[in-house]
A and B are shown apart, each in its own frame.
Chain A
Amino acid sequence: DTAVSQTPKYLVTQMGNDKSIKCEQNLGHDTMYWYKQDSKKFLKIMFSYNNKELIINETVPNRFSPKSPDKAHLNLHINSLELGDSAVYFCASSQWGESTDTQYFGPGTRLTVL
Chain B
Amino acid sequence: QQQVKQSPQSLIVQKGGISIINCAYENTAFDYFPWYQQFPGKGPALLIAIRPDVSEKKEGRFTISFNKSAKQFSLHIMDSQPGDSATYFCASRGSSYKLIFGSGTRLLVRP
Chain A residues with CB under 8 Å of chain B are 4, 31, 40-45, 48, 55-56, 90, 92, 94, 96, 99-108
Number of chain B residues close to chain A: CB under 8 A = 24
B44 contacts A100, C-beta separation under 8 Å:
no
| Residue from B42, B99, B104 in contact with A103 in the complex, judged by beta carbons closer than 8 Å | B99
Minimum-distance CB pairs A-B, first 6: A105-B43, A43-B101, A41-B104, A102-B46, A105-B44, A55-B96
Number of A-B residue pairs having CB atoms within 8 Å of each other in the complex? 55
Report if B87 contacts A (CB, 8 A): yes
Residues of chain B contacted by A41 (CB below 8 angstroms):
38, 87, 103-104, 106
| Residue from B41, B49, B100 in contact with A102 in the complex, judged by beta carbons closer than 8 Å | B49
B97 contacts A31, C-beta separation under 8 Å:
yes
Contact A101:B32 (CB < 8 A) given known A45-B99, A56-B98: yes
Report if B15 contacts A (CB, 8 A): no
Closest chain A CB from B33 CB (angstroms): 11
17 A/B residue pairs, CB under 8 Å, sorted by A: A4-B43, A41-B87, A41-B103, A43-B44, A55-B96, A90-B44, A92-B43, A99-B51, A101-B32, A101-B93, A101-B97, A102-B34, A102-B49, A103-B99, A104-B46, A105-B44, A108-B41
